[in-house]
Amino acid sequence: MGFNPAVLFKAPQVNPITKKARSIPILNPFNVYGRVFFFSWWGFMVAFLSWYAWSPLIGETIKADLKLTQAQIANSNILALVATLLVRCIAGPLCDKFGPRLVFAGVLLAGAVPTAFAFAIKNAAGLIVLRFFVGILGGSFVPCQVWSTGFFDKNIVGTANSITGGFGNAGGGITYFVMPAIFDTFVNHYGMTKHKAWRMAFFVPFGMIVGTAILMLLLTPDTPVGKWKDRHAAVEANLRAEHEAGRIIPHTGLGEAHHAHGPPLVLDDKKNDSTSDVEHGTGEVVAVDTEYSHEVVMSPTFKEIVQIALSPQTLTLMACYFCSFGAELAINSILGAYYLKNFPKLGQSGSGDWAAMFGLLNVVFRPMGGMMSDALYKFTGGKVWSKKILVHVMGVLMGMFMIIIGATDSHNRSTMVGLIAGLAFFLEAGNGANFGLVPHVHPYANGVVSGFTGASGNLGGIIGAIIFRYNGLHYGKSIWIFGIIAIVLNLAVCWIRPVPKGQIGGR
């Protein structure tokens, strides 16, 4: 059966127990699922735009104004990523405790404050300190993904997460158009000096961030079943209603006893490896309540957070995202400068426009990764292994493209653009595929898994930025080095099972 465009507008069918949507009403902001979907990607996009707003201007205008060295620029890139890494590690557990909506808005508002203080920068030290605190905005990715996971069911969650992440990541490309345009407007139409214009330009993303955070708090709910604190009782009530209607057989109730301490009972293999009949709406009597109890997000203790973060499955997700998103962050930081070096006639605006393509392709390529993940999951009858294999295939092919780009270091613009576009497909689709797998791994602690996986991407970005720093203007060499790292890490963890043995939820 082909795609029905009506699903883009109409209210979706929902899981009767979790109330998660089984389709995405992308074009219907009046529907609560469409509204949450919009704020998920829009909130992350304005955060990403502001987080990377420095890159289009720092290679020429800010560098000249503050008399920066290449090493100082690299240090500011690294510190911005360090802050995001720390925030993502913290944001994950906070999402599980307070809910992703409040964490999302809090991260946006916290990152907006230093964005507004760009006007006060006077030297390299001030730039590095301010960019560290602006890096808080990168942490918004975690509540974006956790929020999306909470509203969309397993049949469509990979697509939902990849679209929200992809549209959001596109902010890294959009900023290459927006910030130079704002800067040029202040210089050419308002007669500002370059010294003042680039500082004033940062008030635009500041206003966008604050407005988005306020609207998010006013117009959206915590979960599809109501307030965050009521999520357990709401799902339990839905389970009871389904039981009374004769569609499920209860085994256990919900509650804290069901989370990271281990499953109270294990369903048979058929139930573990397939989507339950009640999810498909067939009305057959099945035992699914234990599975759902393991998919309701709990509030883990510190010990449980450590155990979840160090599990082989979480470490696998982290290793793959270290490579894919890490490469994206590192390359985003230098791509404009790389184009300017190899094609000096482009100038700051021209090189920025070409560099923007890399980030903008997230709008298409990251969702493609999530859609491929969901399609494989459906085609294989709900086998999570299919999603995991896709992640590693994308990771290895991404590494091969990076080696080719670095080895050729092309000075032919068409060749360079083509290679960068090819890299963008495997890298960005790999990001989408990774977060198509994330909701299946320890689903009762989705915030923790999402937070540490997202943070590992920043760690990869930091390592990539360090590699770029110590290779100076030899950008091609840095790219092929990271490509080798990506291939080695993906092959090293490809044998690990996608979900822990005996896990009930998330299959």
Q: What's the confidence (pLDDT) of residue 254?
A: 41
279 and 367 part of one domain: no
Of 239, 265, 299, the domain-final residue: 299
Q: What's the confidence (pLDDT) of residue 426?
A: 96
277 and 375 part of one domain: no
Q: What's the confidence (pLDDT) of residue 246?
A: 65
108 and 255 part of one domain: no
254 and 105 part of one domain: no
189 and 248 part of one domain: no
36 and 135 part of one domain: yes
Tell me if 498 is assigned to some domain.
no
Q: Judge residue 229's burial from the number of C-beta atoms within 10 Å of its C-beta, 0-12 exposed, 13-18 middle, 19 or more buried.
A: exposed
Structure tokens that stand for 420 in this block: 């960068």
Q: How many domains in the chain?
A: 2
> Within 10 A of 483 (CB to CB), how many other CB atoms are there?
24
206 and 235 part of one domain: no
Question: Which tens digit of pLDDT belongs to each residue from 261-317?
Answer: 333 323 233 333 333 433 344 444 444 455 555 667 778 888 989 999 999 999 999
Q: Which residues are paired to 223 by β-bridges?
A: 226
Q: What's the confidence (pLDDT) of residue 423?
A: 96
192 and 110 part of one domain: yes
132 and 210 part of one domain: yes
Tell me if 507 is assigned to some domain.
no
Of 264, 299, 334, the domain-final residue: 299
114 and 188 part of one domain: yes
The CATH number for 161's domain is: 1.20.1250.20
Low-confidence ranges of the chain (pLDDT < 50): 1, 250-288
310 and 260 part of one domain: no
Find, among 475, 425, 428, the residue nearest to 325 by Cα.
428
- Helix 362-379 vs helix 413-437: crossing angle, to nearest 10: 40
Q: By residue range, what is the domain housing residue 269? A: 230-299
323 and 367 part of one domain: yes
Q: What's the confidence (pLDDT) of residue 5?
A: 81
Report the C-alpha gap between 390 and 425 in whole angstroms.
13
Structure tokens that stand for 479 in this block: 């790219």
Tell me if 219 is assigned to some domain.
yes
Of 299, 318, 337, the domain-final residue: 299
Q: What's the confidence (pLDDT) of residue 172?
A: 77
Tell me if 5 is assigned to some domain.
no
